[in-house]
A and B are shown apart, each in its own frame.
Chain A
Amino acid sequence: MRLLPKSFRANKRERGIEYFLLFCASLSILTTLGIVGVLLFETIDFFREVSILSFFTDTQWTPLFAQKHFGIWPLLTGTILISGIAMLVALPAGLLSALYLSEYAPDRVRRMVKPVLEILAGVPTVVYGYFALLFVTPLLQKFVPGLAGFNALSPGIVMGVMILPLVSSLSEDAMQAVPRSLREGAYALGSTNLQVSFRIVIPAAFSGITASFILAVSRAIGETMIVAIAAGQQPRLTGNPLVPIETMTAYIVQVSMGDTPVGTLEYKTIFVVGMMLFLSTFVLNILSQRLRARFREVYR
């Protein structure tokens, strides 16, 4: 009889813990919902004053100045340009280093190289930003004539280096998940190491590799410090990587650092741009999750 209340108490405590854990889990969900709500609310408010049509067709973005234009394209192309350059660096280099680590590297080398690559991911982005502005840009200016002090090229390259470990680490995991039997089959048929890498491992790990690429793209789009420091603060519609541009994230930083009164149209532009950012990374993340789920099923 004495046991019952005790276990009852234990039960109660158990349930208390459960509620607490539920509370913790819902905290992050509620935060997300709150963010989406605020973004949505301010965005709708913004489009009451600015037509959606001009938002997507105007080619100028000057909400803070005398002649106000609200065309998102200069910021969008800025983001796409820099992310594109970053991908040109991160994807091939990331994929090949993953291939090396997974298929070629002796165990000792792998154990040493992998953590070193991951250190790259741990460097604060503000450090990368100043690295791009004060080291990479002056260096590039020696080879590239007409390269401006603020430009898309240098932060793009540096961002690619920053994202490289993400690509290589995730791709390598995908390659490691390819069953040995597939490789051994190919070797038995007389394939060389290179043939196995490119004809067996990469195709077999393809969805995992794509997932890592997409995650890398969404990381590049959301990157803030590097571009805010090294790419300039001038929204311009151009594909030229040598001149100052502005990305969506850098615009948000620029406006937030001044003193923009709450409720003004300038203030709402931050949220509209934030919404655009959120939407693009959201879609990419879902895509990558889908791909990863597919890749898990294949070899179970």
Chain B
Amino acid sequence: MRILFRGLLTFPLAAALVVLSGCGGDGVKEGARGVAGSITVDGSSTVFPITEAMAEEFRREQPDVRVTVGVSGTGGGFKKFSRGEIDICDASRPIKDAELQMARQNKVDFVELPVAYDGIAILVNPKNTWCESITVEELKRLWEPSAQNKVTRWNQVRPNWPDREIHLFGPGVDSGTYDYFTGAIVGKEGASRGDFTSSEDDNVLVQGIAADELALGFFGYAYYEENKDRLRVVPVNDGNPQNGDGPIVPTVDTVKNSTYQPLSRPIFIYVRRESLDRSEVSLFIDFYLKNAPSLVSQVGYIPLPDEAYQLAHGRVARKVTGSVFAGGSQVGVSVQDLLKKESAAAE
């Protein structure tokens, strides 16, 4: 059931858990720590595993707070967020100008918190013997809009690859991973060919690539980590020796030291300023930032340096609103850049 409808299932499941925990919580006295209420989160499927893990752990500490985490893509999440319908938006790219404007119109202020680093992995089937690495140039030729219905065979990407069909898999257009990938590879956000299997649910992509010898696809590194035995990751060569020579495999280290470029990026949560006044939300965010270093790597992502979380903590405490990353994804934001931006915002 997980594959297609995880997004839909999350709600009833969470609701059921709430009912269960609510029953158990009746006897618990409202102590100093006991807070009740509900927190609604929606957005990126890439950030979902982190927030979901946080919500699960948080439930143990605060059984009377219900945290529901939805998955409708970063774009879908921001739409709801900027209308003020949810408290927290999971985002695998920074807020876009249009979304920022809509938030302003609806008087939604927010605090922007980078929570982890993620690499976008390029994946093929383990039976694929030919695709040992790929260049950014080749990825561009494969994914740009003009490739639509034209570049359809492996040997069109690299002549010594076999003359067989290529089956492409990627996240849907509401996904921040899609936005970032098209921005980083094609050069324009949201511009790609349209003849590929697209799904907002990364598990569908895993299933598709794992069962298709001719497949090539991309999605967040963590989903690869979870399915290592069913997929093969392809090293990417950006042709820039400054980011490490030759093809680079995405790993915790190469993402952290910014050699896996241009497909590493920070991922975020956006918290509504008004919601921070509610004690359950501010407690959840404190919990989130405090536990990020350990939990983030547990679910397959790359944690930021501790300093970054401390800076973020400071901004939450002082409720510094606005975005320093706004204007869509920036390609090649390294950890150092991020820290610089963070500390600038903290002043």
Q: Say whether B174 contacts A258, CB under 8 Å.
A: yes
Q: Interface size of A by Cβ–Cβ distance < 8 Å?
A: 32
Interface contacts beyond A60-B194, A64-B172, A149-B207: sample of 7 additional A-B pairs, CB < 8 Å, sorted by A: A60-B149, A64-B173, A149-B212, A150-B211, A233-B197, A243-B165, A259-B79
Could you say which residues of chain A place their CB within 8 Å of the CB of B208?
148-150, 232, 244
Q: Interface size of B by Cβ–Cβ distance < 8 Å?
A: 43
9 closest A-B pairs (Cβ-Cβ)?
Answer: A149-B211, A62-B194, A259-B76, A65-B194, A66-B191, A66-B145, A234-B197, A149-B212, A148-B212
Q: Does B49 contact A (CB under 8 A)?
A: no
Q: Say whether B190 contacts A66, CB under 8 Å.
A: yes
Tell me how far the C-beta of A189 lies from the nearest C-beta in chain B, rounded to whole angstroms: 57
Q: Does A133 contact B (CB under 8 A)?
A: yes
Tell me how far the C-beta of B179 lies from the nearest C-beta in chain A, rounded to whole angstroms: 12
Q: Say whether A60 contacts B76, CB under 8 Å.
A: no
Could you say which residues of chain B place their CB within 8 Å of the CB of A257?
7-8, 200
Tell me how far the C-beta of A278 lies from the nearest C-beta in chain B, rounded to whole angstroms: 24
Q: Does A157 contact B (CB under 8 A)?
A: no
Could you say which residues of chain A place their CB within 8 Å of the CB of B207?
133, 149
Within 8 A of A (CB), among B120-146: 145-146
Q: Say whether B4 contacts A67, CB under 8 Å.
A: no
Could you say which residues of chain B place their CB within 8 Å of the CB of A141?
211
Q: Say whether A62 contacts B195, CB under 8 Å.
A: yes
Q: Does A164 contact B (CB under 8 A)?
A: no
Q: Does B273 contact A (CB under 8 A)?
A: no
Q: Which residue of A lies closest to B172 (CB)?
A: A258
Q: Which residue of B lies closest to A257 (CB)?
A: B200
Q: Interface on chain A toward B: helix, strand, loop, or mixed SS?
A: loop
Q: Say whether A67 contacts B215, CB under 8 Å.
A: no
Partner of A258, one of B8, B76, B188: B76
Residue among B4, B149, B204 facing the most chain A CB atoms (10 A cut-off): B4
Could you say which residues of chain B place their CB within 8 Å of the CB of A236?
195
Could you say which residues of chain B place their CB within 8 Å of the CB of A146?
213-214
Q: Does A91 contact B (CB under 8 A)?
A: no
Within 8 A of B (CB), among A117-175: 126, 130, 133, 137-138, 141, 146, 148-150
Q: Say whether B4 contacts A229, CB under 8 Å.
A: yes
Tell me how far the C-beta of A123 lies from the nearest C-beta in chain B, rounded to whole angstroms: 15
Q: Say whether B195 contacts A149, CB under 8 Å.
A: no
Could you say which residues of chain B place their CB within 8 Å of the CB of A137?
211
Q: Say whether A149 contacts B215, CB under 8 Å.
A: yes
Could you say which residues of chain B place their CB within 8 Å of the CB of A244?
167, 197, 208, 212
Q: Does B69 contact A (CB under 8 A)?
A: no
Q: A66-B191, A258-B76, A259-B174 are in contact. Are A138 and B199 (CB under 8 A)?
A: no
Q: Does B11 contact A (CB under 8 A)?
A: no
Could you say which residues of chain A place their CB within 8 Å of the CB of B191?
66
Within 8 A of A (CB), among B1-28: 1, 3-4, 7-8
Q: A65-B192, A258-B76 are in contact. Are A233 and B198 (CB under 8 A)?
A: yes
